[in-house]
């Protein structure tokens, strides 16, 4: 038996140090635990300051005693390596453990123990905890805004259908995989449009969009017979021409007739709101800002000076101003730029504004990816006789986009987090609805519950998105 030296514990008397150390440490935890959960003060016989710092002192001594290197006990080594490497680390670890124990009881009692879950009026909430009855009563409004209750199945059905159609990619067999890009970039957004505008909005707009689809289909069919040399310009001009012909020349009278037929009750966009509006706005902005950003980034790296400087100006302008002023612009300044009789819906204006704003950020992210590619890739593609578009579509962009997945995911996350700003134009998504509910005279004083609820909702959405982007990044990671 060696002499015990409590100032420098070593391996020789391992268990003596270990038991005394664990004893001291457990004692300190016990004191704090009893104090915070049962407000029982074990050390009340000591003077105030000493009693206050005693757990820290005991725990510190305990951790010091079990800090034995290469003890041979696996668990002890893991603990020492992770939370107990030196005195400073031990102190910080203790402080964190105590802080967690101290803050648990108030949090638990607010969230669960003292909280009120039942009831549908303010009187039900008498406890000192959270009033989840408030969230329960207003849940419908937080999800759907002022959308009429009887029609809410339309939103649900649209979202379920879109989620299902969006998930098609996971089930596609190898044979159809090559069409997926086309599906997600062209077909899916159009279907989404139809759902949102025909189903959620209701009213006669459907016929406008059916012309759009007919125009697109006809132009794609004609497109097969057009020499590939002119295809780029063709796809820009012909669909618009066909659309205008259909709408204003061939079927103008019929459209007015048909316009009077309403399949579903018309719900104006001002009544939309809540979390569903958050989804709608982020969804469309995501879809629009990506292609715009892609073209802007290509434009910025173009050899053609006019296109290059217009792209630079555009990108730097949007990146230089806060989103809130952009929304101000879209709500108070933009109507001045339109003819008197022309009116663009508030929601559409907002979606365009946010899309252009985020497109500038997407453009910069993609430019980063383009710049990271070695020149050899461009030279190799050119030496194979590829033109500008062929080179970018088949060689450059697949590699560049792969590189910038994290950056794009960050931009998309920022976009989702920016959607509450649309309160500036009077559209109330979930945060806006919270502020509205907060001022309801029958439900005053529950701001905290509302914000905590919305925080949790946003955290789940954004955290899931960031994890998904991380998986995507791992999936497409290729050795270079």
Partner 1 sequence: MNFKKILPQLLTLVVVILVFGFFSYNAQVNMENRGITFGYGFLSQESSFDVQFSLIEYDGSHSYFRAYLVGLLNTILVSVIGIIFATIIGVVVGIARLSSNYLIERTAAIYVEFFRNIPLLLQIFFWYFAALRALPLPEKAEPMFGVFFLTIKGFFVPAFVWNNLDIFIYSVIAAIIAIVFIRLYAKKKQENKGIQTPVLSISIGLLIILPLLSFFLGGVDASVEIPVIEQLSKTSFTFKGGLKLPPELISLALALSLYTATFIAECVRAGVQGVSKGQKEAAASIGLTPNQVLKLVVMPQALRIIIPPTTNQYLNLTKNSSLAAAIAYPDLVLVFAGTALMQTGRAIEIVSITMLTYLTLSITISIFMNWYNKKIAIKEK
Counting Cβ atoms within 10 Å, is residue 45 exposed (0-12), middle (13-18) or buried (19+)?
A: exposed
The distance of closest approach from Cβ of residue 285 to partner 1 in the complex, given in angstroms and rounded to an integer, is 14
Q: Which is nearer to partner 1, 188 or 446 (CB)?
A: 446
H-run or E-run covering 163: helix 152-166
For position 319 contacting partner 1 by CB under 8 A, the verdict is: yes
Site for partner 1 in 393-422 (CB under 8 A): 413, 416-421
Q: What does the alpha-carbon distance between residue 445 and residue 284 come to, in Å, rounded to a whole number? A: 35
Tokens encoding 281: 């706005």
The distance of closest approach from Cβ of residue 346 to partner 1 in the complex, given in angstroms and rounded to an integer, is 16
For position 390 contacting partner 1 by CB under 8 A, the verdict is: no
Q: Which is nearer to partner 1, 154 or 367 (CB)?
A: 367
Q: What does the alpha-carbon distance between residue 29 and residue 93 come to, in Å, rounded to a whole number? A: 12
Q: What does the alpha-carbon distance between residue 333 and residue 388 come to, in Å, rounded to a whole number? A: 38
Of 258, 273, 290, the residue nearest 358 (C-alpha): 290
The distance of closest approach from Cβ of residue 272 to partner 1 in the complex, given in angstroms and rounded to an integer, is 19
For position 234 contacting partner 1 by CB under 8 A, the verdict is: no
For position 341 contacting partner 1 by CB under 8 A, the verdict is: no
Q: What does the alpha-carbon distance between residue 291 and residue 404 come to, in Å, rounded to a whole number? A: 15
Name the segment binding partner 1 (CB under 8 A); options: 49-57, 139-147, 202-210, 319-327.
319-327
H-run or E-run covering 74: helix 74-83
One character per residue 64-103, x = contact with partner 1 (rule: CB under 8 A): -----------------xxx-x---x--xx--xx------
Q: Which is nearer to partner 1, 198 or 357 (CB)?
A: 357
The distance of closest approach from Cβ of residue 439 to partner 1 in the complex, given in angstroms and rounded to an integer, is 10
Counting Cβ atoms within 10 Å, is residue 134 exposed (0-12), middle (13-18) or buried (19+)?
A: buried
Q: What does the alpha-carbon distance between residue 181 and residue 292 come to, in Å, rounded to a whole number? A: 17
Q: What does the alpha-carbon distance between residue 295 and residue 291 come to, in Å, rounded to a whole number? A: 6
For position 431 contacting partner 1 by CB under 8 A, the verdict is: yes
For position 307 contacting partner 1 by CB under 8 A, the verdict is: yes
For position 447 contacting partner 1 by CB under 8 A, the verdict is: yes
Look at the block and give the residue holding tokens 């664990």.
22
Q: Which is nearer to partner 1, 231 or 319 (CB)?
A: 319
Of 227, 222, 262, the residue nearest 239 (C-alpha): 222
Q: Which is nearer to partner 1, 215 or 323 (CB)?
A: 323
Q: Which is nearer to partner 1, 40 or 244 (CB)?
A: 244
Output the CA torsion 226→231→237→240 (10° steps).
Answer: 70
Interacting residue ranges for partner 1, rule: CB under 8 A: 81-83, 85, 89, 92-93, 96-97, 303-307, 310, 316-317, 319-325, 328-329, 332-333, 336-340, 413, 416-421, 423-424, 431, 434-435, 438, 447-448, 451-452, 454-455, 458-459, 462-463, 466
């Amino acid at each position: 038996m060696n002499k015990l030296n409590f100032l420098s514990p070593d391996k020789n008397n391992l268990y003596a140090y270990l038991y005394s150390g664990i004893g001291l440490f457990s004692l300190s935890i016990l004191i704090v635990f009893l104090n915070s959960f049962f407000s029982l003060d074990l050390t009340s016989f000591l003077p105030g300051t000493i009693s206050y710092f005693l757990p820290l002192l005991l725990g510190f001594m305990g951790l010091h005693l079990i800090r034995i290197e290469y003890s041979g006990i696996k668990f002890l080594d893991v603990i020492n390596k992770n939370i107990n490497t030196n005195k400073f680390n031990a102190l910080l670890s203790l402080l964190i453990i105590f802080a967690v124990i101290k803050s648990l009881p108030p949090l638990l009692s607010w969230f669960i123990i003292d909280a009120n879950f039942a009831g549908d009026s303010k009187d039900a909430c008498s406890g000192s905890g959270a009033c989840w009855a408030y969230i329960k009563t207003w849940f419908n409004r937080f999800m759907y805004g002022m959308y009429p209750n009887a029609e809410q199945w339309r939103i649900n059905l649209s979202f379920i259908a879109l989620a299902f159609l969006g998930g098609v990619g996971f089930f596609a067999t190898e044979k159809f995989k090559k069409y997926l890009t086309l599906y997600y970039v062209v077909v899916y957004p159009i279907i989404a449009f139809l759902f949102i505008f025909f189903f959620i909005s209701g009213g006669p707009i459907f016929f406008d969009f059916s012309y759009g689809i007919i125009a697109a289909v006809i132009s794609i069919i004609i497109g097969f017979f057009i020499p590939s040399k002119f295809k780029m310009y063709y796809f820009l001009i012909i669909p618009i021409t066909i659309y205008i012909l259909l709408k204003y020349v061939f079927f103008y009278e019929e459209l007015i007739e048909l316009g009077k037929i309403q399949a579903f009750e018309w719900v104006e966009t001002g009544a939309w709101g809540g979390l569903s509006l958050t989804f709608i706005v982020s969804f469309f902005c995501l879809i629009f800002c990506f292609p715009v950003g892609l073209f802007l980034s290509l434009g910025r790296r173009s050899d053609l000076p006019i296109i290059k400087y217009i792209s630079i100006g555009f990108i730097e302008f949007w990146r230089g101003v806060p989103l809130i002023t952009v929304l101000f612009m879209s709500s108070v300044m933009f109507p001045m730029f339109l003819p008197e009789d022309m009116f663009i819906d508030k929601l559409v204006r907002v979606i365009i504004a946010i899309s252009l704003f985020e497109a500038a950020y997407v453009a910069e992210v993609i430019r980063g990816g383009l710049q990271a590619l070695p020149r050899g890739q461009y030279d190799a593609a050119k030496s194979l006789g590829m033109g500008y578009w062929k080179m970018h579509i088949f060689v450059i962009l697949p590699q560049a986009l792969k590189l910038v997945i994290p950056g794009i995911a960050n931009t998309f996350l920022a976009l989702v987090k920016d959607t509450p700003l649309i309160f500036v134009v009077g559209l109330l998504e979930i945060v806006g609805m919270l502020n509205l509910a907060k001022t309801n005279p029958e439900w005053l004083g529950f701001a905290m519950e509302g914000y905590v609820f919305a925080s949790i909702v946003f955290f789940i959405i954004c955290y899931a998105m960031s994890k998904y982007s991380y998986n995507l990044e791992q999936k497409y990671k290729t050795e270079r």
